[in-house]
Amino acid sequence: MKNIWIMNHYATDQYFNEGGRHYWFAENLKKQGYQVTIFCANTRHNSNETIDSEKNQYGERVVNEIPFVFIKSHAYQSNNHHRIFNMISFAQRLLTVAEKYRKRYGRPDVILASSVHPLTLIAGLRIAEKWDIKCVVEIRDLWPESIVAYSILSKKNPLVRIMYHIEKLIYQKADSIVMTWPGGYEYIKNKGWNSQISENKVHHISNGVVLRDFYQNASNYHQDDVHLLNRDFKNFIYTGSIRKVNDLSLLIDAARIIEEYYSEEKIRILIYGDGDEKSQLVEKVHQLSLNNVLFKGKVPKRFIPFILKNAYANILHNRSTKLDQYGQSQNKLFEYLAAGRPILQTYTTGYSVIEQNHCGVCVSEQTPRKVAEAIVAMSRDENLASQQGKNAAQTANYYDFENLTKKLVQILES
């Protein structure tokens, strides 16, 4: 039996939700005889709630036979300097807590240290080196490349340059690298690091979906929603956050074009979710007197499968950046596939799951007019949309976490 420690700062919600990438990995690894422990912060992102860390700087809880270790971390409520302190304190205390936990329960055979931020990776590598064990680093967000892509900091910023150097060292020291997008090694080559980082140790394990849970929720949790269930309209559905990075204003501009030039098509865009830009966008819809955009609010996650399965098509949308060239791995993409409805993606990506498997349409240019034209074209070809939905449902099987865990086992065993 291999003993695996998974280190993910933000896995705290996975304990409460009984779901998420590393929860599902742990669940499937345990079925294959592995012993798995998840280390995370005792703080919850976007919440004031914390978990008692007791006197040992950590707390222990078990859910469905999966042990969670909650590291005492600096409290924060928003994206300011306190969140930075939260990251630093987690990584620092992880070093101490890991030693205490090892003395009580024994050391792991392998550490899987996962980003978002790189401090967790650094801590995992240091622990593995000290104990002479293997460490797999998992990259789910490119730091600092994401910060540069969203124009938060310039590539020339001294701090960014330091972060690039640290990123390169992490890749060099890791025994294996898991990236959630298929073009991960292309990124390394574009940075000019391929002569020092072997392609053999870079692996792709996408995000995915637990199909068993998705289908059960679709059957058990229905939404009595007159707009969703009205088949007189072709409902294009967006689910997710309503924040600046999601750029939903573009969808509203597309809806204005549809209402102005294609009103006979009876198309509606239903938006499920919440965020700090919602009130502004609701006001924009009101000012434009649009009747084809409806904000449905935030719904519990268990209702999402039913909503997605009752769409005419589902909209995959956020502000496109140069990072899209390396592929895609948004969690919602795989729920959209499982829904068995066509997907309209408002931008293009490299290694496109949607295009490669003929699951929908990727708009060639992310502009309101191009998006509007793509929505209208999809609404007019019901036969093609139906076939794209069937292709999506078939493609979802590849991304079930049972299959994704098999890929992780191959890495752990090697």
Q: Could you write out the DSSP letters of every residue in 136-149?
A: EEEESS-TTHHHHH
Pairing of strands 202-204, 293-297: unpaired
* Tokens standing for residue 299: 């719904």
* Percent of the chain residues topping a pLDDT of 90: 89
Name the residue among 276, 270, 232, 266 with its Cα closest to residue 251.
270
Name the residue among 267, 14, 4, 193 with its Cα closest to residue 112.
4
Q: What is the pLDDT of residues 325-363, one digit of tens each?
A: 999 999 999 999 999 999 999 999 999 999 999 999 999
Q: How many CB atoms lie within 10 A of CB 333?
A: 25
- Looking at the chain, the domain(s) classified CATH 3.40.50.2000 span 3-209+401-413, 211-399
Pairing of strands 66-71, 58-63: antiparallel
Name the residue among 335, 337, 343, 382 with its Cα closest to residue 362.
343
Q: What is the pLDDT of residues 54-83, one digit of tens each?
A: 677 899 999 999 999 999 998 887 777 888
End-to-end CA distance of the chain: 15
Distances (CA, A) of 130 to 2, 9, 136, 242: 19, 21, 15, 44
Average pLDDT rounded to a whole number, residues 175-198: 97
Say how far apart CA 312 and CA 292 lie, in whole Å: 14
Q: What is the pLDDT of residues 102-155, one digit of tens each?
A: 999 999 999 999 998 999 999 999 999 999 999 999 999 998 898 888 888 898
Predicted pLDDT at 148: 87
* Percent of the chain residues topping a pLDDT of 70: 99
Count how many residues are written for the chain: 414
H or E, element range at 243? none
Say how far apart CA 372 and CA 352 lie, in whole Å: 21
Predicted pLDDT at 83: 86
Q: What is the pLDDT of residues 387-412, one digit of tens each?
A: 999 999 999 999 999 999 999 999 99
Predicted pLDDT at 54: 66
What pTM was computed for the model?
A: 0.94
At 44, is the pLDDT very low, low, confident or very high (cuts 50, 70, 90)? Answer: confident
Distances (CA, A) of 127 to 83, 122, 269, 412, 414: 24, 9, 49, 17, 20
Lowest mean pLDDT among 77-81, 158-162, 334-338, 377-381: 77-81
The CATH number assigned to the domain with range 3-209+401-413 reads 3.40.50.2000
Predicted pLDDT at 268: 98
Predicted pLDDT at 345: 98
**Superfamily for the 211-399 domain:** Glycogen Phosphorylase B; (3.40.50.2000)
Residue 130 makes CB contacts below 8 A (sequence gap 6+) with: none
Give backbone dihedrals phi and psi of 366, rounded to 5 degrees, phi first.
-85, 75
8 Å CB contact between 359 and 337:
yes
Q: What is the mean pLDDT of the chain?
A: 95
Average pLDDT rounded to a whole number, residues 279-305: 97
